[in-house]
Chains A and B, each alone.
Chain A
Amino acid sequence: MADILQILILGLALGGVYALMGAGLSLVFGVMRIVNLAHPSLIMMGAYVAFWGFRLYGIDPIVMLPVAMVILAATGVLLYKLVFEREAKSAKYSEMTVLLTFAFAMVFEGALATAFTNTQRVTTPDYAVDAIFIGNVFIPLGQLYAGIVSLVLIGALALYLKYSRFGYAIRATTQNREAAELLGVNVNFVGLVSFAIGLALAGAAGALVSFVFSFFPSKHWEWIAILMSLVVLGGMGSILGTVVAAYILSVVAAFVGFFFGATLSTLTFFVALFVVLLVRPQGLFGEKPELA
C-alpha cells in the first residue's frame, strides 16, 4: 500500500513538471497553429540558464526561474518578430513552421553544445538530494518542489486565461481567429504575447528540470517525443488537456517503471502516442479533426 502511494506521489510530482513543459507548447499551437518542435530545446535553454546561475554564482535554480522566464520570453518576441510573424500569411503556415522549428531546434542544440559542451549536467541545490518521509512514504524534495512550482505556474496561467481581458483575447483567438478579429481583437499582437508566454513557460520548466533530470544539449529529442504524446493525448491546442494528459501519463509511467523497469517507463509515452493516434486522434479534449 505504501508502495502504491509512493509511486502515485512521485508520478504526480513529475506530472506537474511534464504539464508545465507541455503547457507552453500547447498554448503556442492553439493560438498560432505553430507546431513548435523547438520547444524542448528552449526548455533546455532554460535549464542551462539555471545551470549557469547555479554554477557561476551559486544561485538557487528556483530563484533563477524568473530569470529564465524573462530571457526565454525575450527570445520568443525576437523569434516571432523575425520569423513567425512574416510567415503568418503563408497558406502552408503550420507545415512550414514544422520545418522551421525543426531547424531552430538543431541550431539551439548546436549553440548550447558549443557553449556548455555535451557533458551531462544537473543543478544540485540542497533540496535536490534531500527527501522527506511521511510515514513510510519517501518523497524527494526536488521533485516535490518542482511539482508544486509547476502547479502554481499552471494555476496562474489558467486564472489569467479565464479572467483577464487579454486572457479572453487569447482564448477567443485560439477558438475562432476570424471572429476574434471581427470583434476587435488584435490577433497578431495576441500571437506575439502568446508566443512569449509559451516560451516563458519553457524557461520556467527548464529551471525546474535542471534539478529533476540530468541533461545535455541533445536530450531535447527525447523530450519532444514525450511532449508530443502529452499534447496529442490532451488534444492539440487544449492546455487543460495537456495538463490532464501529463498527470495521467506520468502516473502510468511511474507504475510501469516500478513494475517493469525504467526503460519501459519511458516507453509508456510512445505507446500512448500511437494508441491515441489510432483510437482517438482528437485526444481527450480536442475537436474532431476537420477534413480540410
Chain B
Amino acid sequence: MSLLTVKNVVAGYGDGPAILNGASVDVQPGKVHCIIGPNGAGKSTLLKAICGMLKIRSGEVTFKGESLKGLRPDQVLRKGICFVPQERALFPKMTVRENLRMGGFSMTDKRLLEKRIDEIEERFPILKERRDQHAGTMSGGQQQTLSMARTMILRPEIVMLDEPSLGLAPKIVQEIFDIIRVMAADGITILIVEQNALMGLRCADWGVVLDLGRTLFEGPAEEVLADPRIREAYLGAKKAA
C-alpha cells in the first residue's frame, strides 16, 4: 500500500564516495513524512536521489510499483513527484507570476496553466498582490510560500520539501507548516526534511531518522517523538525536556 518505496539506496555525487549507504523510506499515500537527522546525514542527498538528480548506485526506488531508477528529474516530475530544494528554489529576477508559470513549464496546455495559476492566486492572496514583483524582492516567508504554491500547479502526488522553514522567523515557520497541512488536506503526499525536528515531527504522520546515510529508524511520528534514545540523540531532549 506504499505510494513510494525507497529501499537500501546507495548514492553519491559524481564519482565521489557514497553519501547514502542504505537509506530507506516507506511513503504512504496522503500522509506527511518527516526526515530528521544531524547536519551532513544525507537528508538532502536522499531527496536528490529520489527526484533523479543523482544516480542511484544500488537499492530501489519504486513509485506505484514502477522503478524510478535512471530517470531524469523532468521524467520524475512528470510522474507526479515535485521537489523543492533547500533555499533558492525560485527565479529571483522573474516576477511572481512568471515563477508560477515556470512551475507549469512541463505543461503543454497553456490555457489550463493560466487557469491553475489563477486558482493558486485565489488561494494565496499574497501571490496575487505581488504578481508583478520580482520574486527575489519578497520576504523569505513569501518566497517559501511561492516555492510551495508553485508545486501545486502540476497537481503532483508527492511534494518533497527540503528544509522549508530554514532561516525564517518562528511566526513565519508556523505559516509554512500551515501551508503544508493545507497541501496534505488536498491529498498531496508530503515528504519534508526538517532541521527543526520537533516541529516537523509534530506536523507529520511518519518519522524517519537518517544518520551517516543510513535509515536508523522509521515509524509513526509519535513513536519517534516518544523514543528516549532518539530524543536524546537527535531532538536535543536535554534542552527541550
Residues of A in contact with B (beta carbons under 8 Å apart): 89, 165, 168-169, 171-172, 175-176, 178-186, 287
Contacts and interface: CB of A to CB of B under 8 A. Distances in A.
Main DSSP-derived SS at the B contact region: loop
A171 B90 CA distance: 12
30 contacts: A168-B94, A168-B98, A169-B105, A171-B91, A171-B93, A172-B102, A172-B105, A175-B91, A175-B93, A175-B94, A176-B89, A176-B90, A176-B91, A178-B53, A178-B85, A179-B88, A179-B90, A181-B73, A181-B74, A182-B53, A182-B73, A182-B77, A182-B85, A183-B77, A183-B102, A183-B105, A184-B74, A184-B77, A184-B105, A287-B92
Interface of B: 14, 51, 53, 73-74, 77-78, 83, 85, 88-94, 98, 101-103, 105-106
Main DSSP-derived SS at the A contact region: helix
A168 B91 CA distance: 10
Contacts of A165: 105
A173 B74 CA distance: 14
Interface centre among A175, A176, A182, A185 (most CB of B within 10 A): A182
Given A168-B98, A176-B88, A178-B85, A183 B103 contact: yes
Given A168-B105, A184-B77, A186-B74, A179 B89 contact: yes
A178 B162 CA distance: 14
A53 B51 CA distance: 52
Contacts of A89: 14
A186 B102 CA distance: 13
Nearest to A176: B91
A182 B94 contact: no
A176 B102 CA distance: 12
Contacts of B78: 184
A184 B106 contact: yes
B83 A182 contact: yes
A179 B14 CA distance: 19
Nearest to B135: A175
Contacts of A178: 53, 85
Nearest to B51: A182
Contact of A171 (B14, B94, B103, B106): B94
Contact of B106 (A175, A179, A183, A287): A183
B74 A172 contact: no
A185 B105 CA distance: 7
Contacts of A169: 105
Contacts of B101: 168
A287 B102 CA distance: 21
Nearest first, the 7 A-B pairs at minimum CB distance are A184-B106, A184-B74, A175-B91, A183-B105, A184-B105, A172-B91, A179-B89
Contacts of A181: 53, 73-74
A180 B53 CA distance: 12
